[in-house]
């Protein structure tokens, strides 16, 4: 099977500014543990403060980009994955390009001359992470870039598409173009619920994309928020996963599968009116470095097997393996080679 360009991701490329902070820092900026939000004006000084006050690490990030990089690492086939998003013409943008090339991902960035490359503050307290994203250039992605022949060629070539829900705030038009292409050509289109705020405040664009989704990923908090927003009156993750999998579909080629992670609890997979649960690899607390990128890594591991047409249990097992590797390291980073067999 030819793997070149088989998996395409689109999203918000962000440079993670990661540091172990304290509770007071979170309080000062009104940040909840384990949340993911967009920066408001009140958050803007925090990036500077983090670099002055704490030991920070700069790591190429952005949810979709993380997942694509992890899938690429798991596959170990150069150029199997591609990625699009918008960066600025600055040193962070150059850093991002260098980083992605090293990872073996074929990136086609749209480079915006007016805004700096987006950043994401990763505030770690007790191994748990909170994310505050200042999208900047990432917010400037335009569907015109996607429609350029050299970029649309990546869409034509790919058989699998993955887009984090965060991209719904930037270019729903681009998402729709790819989703419709996937449905017309019987390809596999996948998205992530990504964050409670997406389910709450971007409900309309999320609902517009949902019929095209063949796989929906998310965690328990996002699933419960989705349920609440849709008046389902249940907090039961298994029920919610089933309901999402039964949402009407644009194309009947693939049945929808919902995959919900619950931290250290088993992964919930809903398909065909049934729910299966798969245990994760448990990690002793002292080995946990931070959970930043854990969900992204799970998706990356999962996709690495899915594109090889492996059964769902193998996809979940690879997802759990990748997440387990990532939480023992700072940010969404990994050793040179995977030891997944």
d(CA 174, CA 23): 39
Can 214 be counted among the known catalytic residues?
no
Residues 5 and 160 sit within 8 Å (Cβ to Cβ): no
For residue 53, being part of any structural domain is answered with: no
The 10s digit of each residue's pLDDT in 176-207 is 999 999 999 999 999 999 999 999 999 999 99
CB neighbours of residue 256 within 10 Å: 21
User: Largest alpha-carbon pair distance within the chain?
Assistant: 54
d(CA 232, CA 266): 23
CB neighbours of residue 115 within 10 Å: 17
Please give the distance of CA 194 from its chain centroid, rounded to a whole number.
7
pLDDT for 292 equals: 80
Does the pLDDT value for residue 253 go beyond 90? no
Does the pLDDT value for residue 331 go beyond 80? no
% the chain with pLDDT above 70 = 100
For residue 38, being part of any structural domain is answered with: no
Residues 134 and 119 sit within 8 Å (Cβ to Cβ): yes
User: pLDDT tier at 167 (50, 70, 90 boundaries)?
Assistant: very high
How many domains would you assign to the chain?
A: 1
Provide the residue range defining the domain that includes 278: 7-13+62-117+136-327
pLDDT for 1 equals: 61
| Sign, Cα dihedral of 65, 69, 74, 75 | positive
Tokens 């931070």 identify what position?
290
Q: What is the mean pLDDT of the chain?
A: 95
pLDDT for 59 equals: 84
- Sort strands 160-164 and 188-192 into parallel, antiparallel or unpaired: parallel
For residue 242, being part of any structural domain is answered with: yes
- Whichever domain contains 177, its CATH number is 3.40.1190.20
For residue 300, being part of any structural domain is answered with: yes
Residues 109 and 93 sit within 8 Å (Cβ to Cβ): yes
For residue 25, being part of any structural domain is answered with: no
**Residue 149 phi/psi, 5° resolution?**
-50, -40
Active-site option among 16, 214, 290, 296: 296
User: pLDDT tier at 327 (50, 70, 90 boundaries)?
Assistant: very high
For residue 22, being part of any structural domain is answered with: no
For residue 159, being part of any structural domain is answered with: yes
For residue 187, being part of any structural domain is answered with: yes
């Amino acid at each position: 099977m030819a793997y070149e360009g088989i998996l395409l991701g689109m999203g918000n490329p962000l440079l993670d500014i990661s540091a172990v902070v304290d509770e007071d820092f979170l309080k000062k900026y009104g940040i909840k543990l384990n949340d993911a939000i967009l920066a408001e004006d009140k958050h803007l000084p925090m990036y500077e403060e983090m670099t002055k006050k704490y030991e920070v690490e700069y790591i190429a990030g952005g949810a979709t980009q993380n997942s694509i990089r992890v899938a690429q690492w798991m596959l170990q086939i150069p150029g199997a994955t591609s990625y699009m998003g918008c960066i600025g013409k600055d040193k962070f943008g150059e850093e991002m390009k260098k980083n992605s090339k090293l990872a073996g991902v074929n990136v086609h960035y749209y480079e915006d001359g007016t805004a700096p490359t987006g950043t994401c503050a990763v505030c770690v307290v007790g191994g748990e992470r909170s994310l505050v994203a200042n999208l900047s250039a990432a917010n400037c992605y335009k569907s015109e870039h996607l429609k350029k022949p050299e970029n649309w060629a990546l869409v034509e070539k790919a058989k699998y598409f993955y887009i984090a829900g965060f991209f719904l705030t930037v270019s729903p038009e681009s998402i729709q173009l790819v989703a419709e292409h996937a449905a017309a050509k019987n390809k596999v289109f996948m998205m992530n619920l990504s964050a409670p705020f997406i389910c709450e405040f971007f409900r309309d664009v999320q609902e517009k994309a949902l019929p095209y989704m063949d796989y929906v990923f998310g965690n328990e908090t996002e699933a419960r928020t989705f349920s609440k927003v849709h008046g389902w009156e249940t907090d039961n993750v298994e029920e919610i996963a089933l309901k999402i999998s039964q949402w009407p579909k644009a194309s009947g080629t693939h049945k929808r599968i919902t995959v919900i992670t619950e931290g250290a609890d088993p992964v919930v997979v809903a398909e065909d009116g049934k729910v299966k649960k798969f245990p994760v690899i448990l990690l002793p607390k002292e080995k946990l470095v931070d959970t930043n990128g854990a969900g992204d890594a799970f998706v990356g591991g999962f996709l690495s097997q899915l594109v090889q047409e492996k059964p769902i249990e193998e996809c979940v097992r690879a997802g759990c393996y990748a997440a387990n590797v990532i939480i023992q390291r700072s940010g969404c980073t990994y050793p040179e080679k995977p030891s997944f067999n």
